[in-house]
Structure 1
Amino acid sequence: MKISTLNIKRFAFGIAICSAIFSSCKKSDNPNNLPEVDPSAYQGKIDGYTSSDEIYPNNLKAYWSFDDTKNELKSASAPTQTANDAFVTGVKGKAIKLTAGYLYYAKQFDAFKTDALKSFTVSVWVQILNNGSKRTMLMTLARPNTFDGSLDFRLNTQANAATVTDKLGIGPRFSTVGGGSQDNLNATLNPKIGADVWTHLVLTYDSNSGTFKEWANGVDVGSYNNRGVGNNLFKAYEPGEFIIGGNYNVIPGKAVNTSVEYAAMTGTVDELRIYNTVLPDAHIKALYALGVAGK
């Protein structure tokens, strides 16, 4: 059979066209032309982070690492008065162990002034037991000569005996613009606790929506998150002070009334961080995962 040169050229052209069509229909491995990623850059990271210090660093306004210091590191503020405290091994480095103890900072932190603190996140690791008799004040933005602080991180350790390690009542409250009080409570979800069990607790407050959340070990456990706006919004009153492990009534010479509702804290505290924003849920979970990994 004779095949003309013209037919050969037509055949070759057809193959070229088909090849071009096939190539154009093939799915691209990188349709958006994204830059290549080196997998080794993510080795050893958790949720993209190598350390808790990398999470919202510009919004971290107060930080207690307790790595052989009781100072608040952002302002280099030392406590005015302490009782029954010791450094022990923590989640990350050292922690502060309180045995009916507290740390009292008799100063107004700039980060906690009215105009500086609207929305917030408080993140902290604790080892705690119930005691069946007294509440525990984990920390408070204290108001001099006033029983309730601007923000009280309360643990309802009075509600259960020390043998109960599957229930921890978390009952934070805050003072409002209108002079009242708002709170939350974990009515159904509870973290595991214990003298040697680290538990990650977080409070978040959104001043735009009035949403007040509490988290335990990366889970939103609050039952009454919506606290309202207007006169129900949080207010950091001035002047203010700061106490870890108690309120004024547990500090000799500072009692503001006769209430014995609280006892100075017996437990261990580590990695207390206060941000001036609401951390997104994923970042709260990342703080928990990083802490578990000692990062």
Structure 2
Amino acid sequence: MKKTINYLLGSIGIFSLLLVASCSEDDKSLPLIDGYNNSNEVAATNLKAHWTFDETNTEDISGTAPLVGDAGTFGTVGFEDGQIGKALKLTQGALVYPPIAALNTADALGNFTVSMWIKLRNNQGTAVEGYTILFGLFPETGGDFMWGNINMAAETSWFPGSGPLGDTLVLKGHFVIKNADGSINGQDNRPDPRGDPAAGVFERSGEWAHFVVRWNGSTHQLNVFGDATSIGAYNDRGTAGPLRMNVPCKPVFGNGATTAIGFESNPEQQAWSPMATASIDDVRVFNTALTDAEITALFNLGTAGR
């Protein structure tokens, strides 16, 4: 029986490798997009973490799965058709991972870019109204609920899910530098669709949208991109330098660092920020500030399902 099972597992493994190879070859038979066959070729040497969510929650490069059972999975967590293959689907849900080595040193992401595809709706006036945290790297013992080292989110409570402004997404990027003296320097950027004049209006609520946050410590620019267009209203972050993180830290999808998901030194779940109801796909963490052209390539390749 063991031999039969081993032969079966071996056959499945070979089939999986052949399938991946076949997909790669299929991409190469198609016309190049911005000089690339697929998204995996963009800044490949700087890619430190990648979640495909193709029927698996395991991070692809390190092979790190969420914490086991109730320690890692909260609310309703599943999959649906995504922008590239399958996608993570959260319904008031969250995933928590153990620290991933490539993201778990203080200077691992001095300059960084986080790219993802998202689908979510505004929730003003609903039973789950609130701020939606999509992804973050949260210190195990930080005491801070929302910011973390890096945090990507949306101000979903600003607008209703339908009506004249219902399709306006307010995407937001945060990060926190831990200074040598123990103090912190927090930075954030977002569009300002309620400003006068409005800035960075991005109308993609309820649809797949490409969301990127990029930090360059040399130029002090924090950019938020929606579908490859810079939409942030507050890009210049003064004298803030390279990100220095508070570690060890855990990747989290769908929530801030609360006691509800195992961060014991942090606040309880906040009513104004419930666990996420959103879909997330093809999450990539780079240890460099990608160029505008590389971000555009990720958008165009993803739009083509590559």
Q: TM-score, normalised by structure 1?
A: 0.80
Match for 1:51: what amino acid?
A: N
2:62/2:100 contact within 8 Å kept: no
- Please state whether the residue corresponding to 1:78 is helix, strand or coil: coil
Change (3 A) 1:268 1:250: farther
User: How far apart in 1 are the matches of 2:29 and 2:59?
Assistant: 31
The counterpart of 1:78, out of the listed 65, 88, 94, is 65
Note if 1:244 corresponds to 2:253: yes
Report the equivalent of 2:187: 182
Q: 1:54-65 alignment to 2 at 5 Å?
A: 54-65=41-52
Residue 191 (structure 1) shift? 2.3
Equivalence for 2:233 = 223
2:65 and 2:29 mapped to 1: Cα distance? 37
Q: Which aligned pairs between 1:132-211 and structure 2 lie closer than 5 A?
A: 132=124, 133-145=129-141, 146-147=143-144, 148-163=147-162, 164-178=165-179, 179-187=184-192, 188-195=199-206, 197-211=207-221
Distance 1:239 1:162, change over 3 A: same
Q: Which amino acid aligns with 1:215?
A: F
Query: In the aligned structure 1, how far is the partner of 2:105 from the partner of 2:232?
Result: 26
1:106 Cα shift?
2.8
Whole-Å Cα distance in 1 between the matches of residues 262 and 84 of structure 2? 34
* Residue 273 (structure 1) aligns with: 284
Deviation track 1:183-220 (CA, whole Å, cap 9, x = no partner) reads: 1111112322233x100000101121221101000101
Over the residues paired in the alignment, what is the CA RMSD in angstroms? 1.9
Q: Distance in 2 between matches of 1:208 and 1:46?
A: 30
What letter is aligned with 2:226? A
Count of matched residue positions in the alignment of Structure 1 and Structure 2: 253
Of structures 1 and 2, the larger Rg is shown by: 1
Structure 1: 5+ residue stretches without partners: 1-40
**Percent identity among equivalent residues?**
30
1:67-92 deviation per Cα after TM superposition (whole angstroms, max 9, x unaligned): 11101111100001113111111111
| TM-score where L is the length of structure 2 | 0.78
Q: Tell me by how many angstroms 1:229 deviates.
A: 2.8
* Aligned partner letter, 2:285: I
Contact 1:108 1:239 in 2 (8 A): no
In structure 1, give the amino acid aligned to 2:167: D
Q: 1: distance between equivalents of 2:215 and 2:262?
A: 32
Counterpart in the other structure of 1:110: 102
